[in-house]
Amino acid sequence: MGLAIAITQVDAFTDAPFAGNPAAVCLLREPMSDRWMQSIAQEMNLSETAFLLKQEDGYNLRWFTPAVEIDLCGHATLASAHVLWSEGHLPPEIKARFHTRSGLLVAKQQGEWIQLDFPVNLSQQIDIPPQLTEALAGAAIDEVWQSSLGYLVALDSEKSVRELSPHFGVMANLPVHGVIVTSLADEASHFDFVSRFFAPQMGINEDPVTGSAHCCLAPFWRDRLHKSEFLAYQASARGGVIKVQYEGDRVYLGGQAVTVLRGELLA
């Protein structure tokens, strides 16, 4: 048995424990095999486990669900930056630089918030796929757009988003990896829009808070609300708050994070 490897569980996009989206962050001393990282993600059984390996100009960062490796993950990147600063691996004034499948991602501290610099993900409008209507249990769909992340579905109200109960067996057979549902927030709310994200093909029926989905939602809502800064709420059972700013080909995502567990991997 080799040396123990530090692993930390962080609740991201929340300022309180047991809310937001939990991610495990594993700080590696040396490269590990894909099979080993996938096994650890399966063992942790969270929506994502992040693996960090220090390199000359920042950190190599990879993300695994319990089923697959993915190209981009917001909450596990937020959790990774939080771990680097809170555990003394980086001074607070130094930006965290992550080299990933989606290029260089940068995080910086802004008071009690962390801001992530992510690439925008543009969508194209499509006809409503009949199987999608079935997967969303007959919800009243206003329009459907498609990006590399999957379908972006506009519903008629926040109530429809919150009360949606998808058929995950049907959704798992859609020709896309994920489904975002969104609507304007209720008028009495201080949020601009709400959303939820489902990805049964990736081993996650519902992701509690999804940073990468907001890379699609930012341009979608910019075109409808005619502004580029938003306060968004992901209306999962755990819930999470995201500050969203859209500039050119980048989306800046702001969130908070809380450490809930520290441990060691012995195997």
Domains and CATH numbers, the chain: 5-120+254-265 (3.10.310.10), 124-248 (3.10.310.10)
Q: What is the pLDDT of residue 267?
A: 73
pLDDT over 50 at 171, yes or no:
yes
Q: What is the pLDDT of residue 2?
A: 60
Averaged pLDDT, 136-152:
96
Burial 145-171 (b: 16+ CB within 10 A, else e): bbbebbbbbbbeebebbeebebeeebb
Whether the Cβ atoms of residue 96 and residue 59 lie closer than 8 Å to each other: yes
Averaged pLDDT, 70-84:
97
- Bridge-based pairing state of the strands 229-234 and 193-199: parallel
End-to-end Cα distance, the chain = 7
Q: Is 48 a catalytic residue?
A: yes
The span from the CA of 176 to the CA of 7, in Å, is 32
Q: What percent of the chain has pLDDT over 70?
A: 99
**Choice among 48, 69, 143, 187 that is catalytic:** 48
**Can you give the pTM of this predicted structure?**
0.94
When the pLDDT of each residue in the chain is averaged and rounded to a whole number, the result is 96
